[in-house]
Chains A and B, each alone.
Chain A
């Protein structure tokens, strides 16, 4: 069939009048290729200097979709795409490992709001992306992955560096494609790009066999459209809006629970307007941190396992819960039987499958977060009469302050480090983190006020996310925007090789390693639930991170006394390029408040004795 035909280099020269085409050594493909049935008509003389291939169609599709930056690692099967990239204006950031390319693309997507793009070759390259894709999938982050694949006639034969990439990634992508045809490969990439951000965002993947990207084609223009039957409901049903408005008007103890969908849907302004106008307290899930200013009177902070006291008390005692773009993850709900046990749930989500998945919604509103909030707000005739409730919430805010004990003569408290950074950085500073205790201290003790400034791994909980995310965030951020990465010692070690990328690109960022010589969250759980049997959680073998940073060519610092914190933070932020501060923190410090896994949110523990 002509659609599947593959043209070799030598054959295409015969049938093509492009004069300056450079023959390339592709013996492996030539032997196994078929000849095209139809020959290419003479190309426009102006374009005749470069052969137009499947790979150039891929790059054209990216360019016409508005892509500027990509993250990836070279390799055999993806080489044709890189060849075409090299002839384009697109900026490619070579990462040290493909997992980091996916995380960087993910963070880029969070900060920019448009899909981040990552590339990898076939086989191990593609499988190394899987963790990053799974991470993006859990957090609904827009990512497009392009993977090389062995030539189509080798597929299924266990060829060198072959993996069933679409099979492997199907459970962790929103959609994936095996691009079997050169004529349509550009359209496929365009569709993948459109799908990644349309409706509920998520990662998409296009697997690109080498013969498909090498073959010549006239089809260079591509569309960026989602499939015909993909029509997410943006505008909510009027009856649902009316019912939501009536429910909220009648509430005595209303609470807004903002989820990550508020940020994905750019609905932060609508959320702020709605909460302010109707004077309703706002709690957020972890992915929604920054959607509502945490220094606002109505903010109660984050709900869930390590959420604030007032947020967990409010969610437990509210009678009406307006959940916006939130999927009721178990880290947020605790035990579902004790979650908001008296609340009528109004749930706004663009994905109908999220409604009543984990928590039953009495009032489902399918639609875009911002549109739904505006329409419900406009439909409400009066704000809920909830003065008593607001006073109650204020009392909880007084009763359960987020604070910590910090003796002046040391050791360094991790919360103090986070506050020290927050104090001297601008509101739009982007914070990225790995996963563990340090992540929780960062989210708890930094006061987030702007959306798209909190970049972390929520659903999958991927240790090592912080540094590659900082690289992706740096590429998406404004030049004058600061990027601070909090990592733990164990988490940092998982992707520390990416420091080489930050150094090579002279990326201005500061990595704060909250080093307690444990994988601390595991140690905290071992102490609480496993009789202190600290199996495999002691990391006293960790390297000296300051020296390690110097070895990579970054600026390294070490801090072991509280007095040194402020000046070192200032020096690291001042440094133009990547810097790493190894904070030797109090190794016994734990994360509180804490809701036991599967426990009741309102019964959060404030110390180990209360678990």
Chain B
């Protein structure tokens, strides 16, 4: 039986003539007023004549998390399923036993960065989330393996970037450079002349300057006292947080 036919042939039998046999009564879409205003793709109310698609920017997000198995996969899974554009991600312990810091570099619109921070903060294993300003201390480490044909020149460039030679042989030289992203990029460019064989980059890690906590409300050791002894020295026991 064909559904469409059966409705089309019905007439308004005993019903109000205003009700069509298929569909509903009422003024059609083009008979209705429509407001002038509108929103952009982020849901922000904008001037109808102006286009306001925000630019992307790079943000460094620092998250204090419970140091327990699975946290990294929760964070990376969150970023991939919500389609946040992640540049780098580093993890390491903090001064507080059982805590770790995840430093994320994301390239997003302001709206995307805000969402990334809020969604990150929702994860039960995440304690605090903060975004670092441009003033923050940031560093990255890179290992570069280059051809060993011109050891003197390689050494000179390494010195220039305040790096270290970790391994030197007749065919390859491996050096380590640390610094902010720009310095690393420049150094890689400089080493390119020798022929780069392999690169390993860690991604950025960062801390806020001065006494400003890196994540809001974070309670690290105080700047007035040394915190070395709070730092867990061994790695033989993993944290035993309740899960």
Give the interface of A toward B (CB within 8 A).
3, 166-167, 170-171, 174-175, 177-180, 184, 187-188, 191, 195, 227, 229-230, 309, 313, 316-317, 328, 333, 336-344, 351-353, 355-360, 362, 399-409, 411, 516-518, 523, 527, 586-590, 592-593, 600, 602-610
Contacts A588-B4, A603-B29, A608-B23 hold; do A184 and B242 have CB atoms under 8 A apart? yes
Contacts A353-B121, A406-B15 hold; do A400 and B43 have CB atoms under 8 A apart? no
Q: Hey, which chain A residues are within 8 Å of B20, CB to CB?
A: 405, 606-607
> Contact between A339 and B39 (Cβ–Cβ < 8 Å)?
yes
> Contact between A180 and B243 (Cβ–Cβ < 8 Å)?
yes
Q: B218 to chain A: closest CB distance in Å?
A: 12
Dominant SS among interface residues on chain B: loop
Q: Hey, which chain A residues are within 8 Å of B164, CB to CB?
A: none
> Contact between B24 and A400 (Cβ–Cβ < 8 Å)?
yes
Return the chain B residue nearest A600 by Cβ.
B34
> Contact between B122 and A351 (Cβ–Cβ < 8 Å)?
yes
Contacts A180-B243, A353-B121, A408-B13 hold; do A586 and B3 have CB atoms under 8 A apart? yes
Q: Hey, which chain A residues are within 8 Å of B3, CB to CB?
A: 516, 518, 523, 586-589
Give the residue among B10, B13, B115 with the most A Cβ atoms within 10 A. Answer: B10
Show 17 residue pairs from A and B whose CB-CB distance is below 8 angstroms, ordered by the A residue. A170-B73, A171-B77, A184-B242, A317-B33, A328-B43, A337-B41, A342-B35, A342-B45, A353-B122, A360-B39, A403-B16, A405-B7, A406-B15, A407-B15, A408-B14, A587-B3, A605-B23
Mask of B29-59 contacts with A, CB within 8 angstroms, 1/0: 1001111111111111100000000000000
Asked if B1 is an interface residue, CB under 8 A from chain A, the answer is: yes
> Contact between A604 and B29 (Cβ–Cβ < 8 Å)?
yes
Q: Hey, which chain B residues are within 8 Å of A309, CB to CB?
A: 24, 26
> Contact between B23 and A341 (Cβ–Cβ < 8 Å)?
no
A400→B118 CA distance, assembly (Å): 40
Q: Hey, which chain B residues are within 8 Å of A352, CB to CB?
A: 118, 121
Contacts A404-B19, A407-B13, A408-B13 hold; do A357 and B35 have CB atoms under 8 A apart? no
> Contact between A403 and B25 (Cβ–Cβ < 8 Å)?
yes
Give the residue among B21, B43, B240 with the most A Cβ atoms within 10 A. Answer: B43
A352→B116 CA distance, assembly (Å): 12
Dominant SS among interface residues on chain A: loop
B contact residues, total (Cβ < 8 Å) = 58
Asked if B198 is an interface residue, CB under 8 A from chain A, the answer is: no
Asked if B119 is an interface residue, CB under 8 A from chain A, the answer is: yes
> Contact between B29 and A405 (Cβ–Cβ < 8 Å)?
no
A208→B97 CA distance, assembly (Å): 27
Asked if B5 is an interface residue, CB under 8 A from chain A, the answer is: yes
Q: Hey, which chain B residues are within 8 Å of A3, CB to CB?
A: 240
Q: Hey, which chain A residues are within 8 Å of B4, CB to CB?
A: 527, 588
Mask of B124-136 contacts with A, CB within 8 angstroms, 1/0: 1001100000000
> Contact between A400 and B26 (Cβ–Cβ < 8 Å)?
yes
A227→B125 CA distance, assembly (Å): 9
Beyond the given pairs A407-B10, A602-B32, 14 more chain A to chain B contacts, judged by CB atoms under 8 angstroms and listed by A's residue number, are: A171-B81, A188-B242, A337-B41, A353-B121, A362-B45, A401-B25, A406-B15, A407-B13, A589-B7, A592-B23, A602-B29, A605-B29, A607-B22, A610-B28
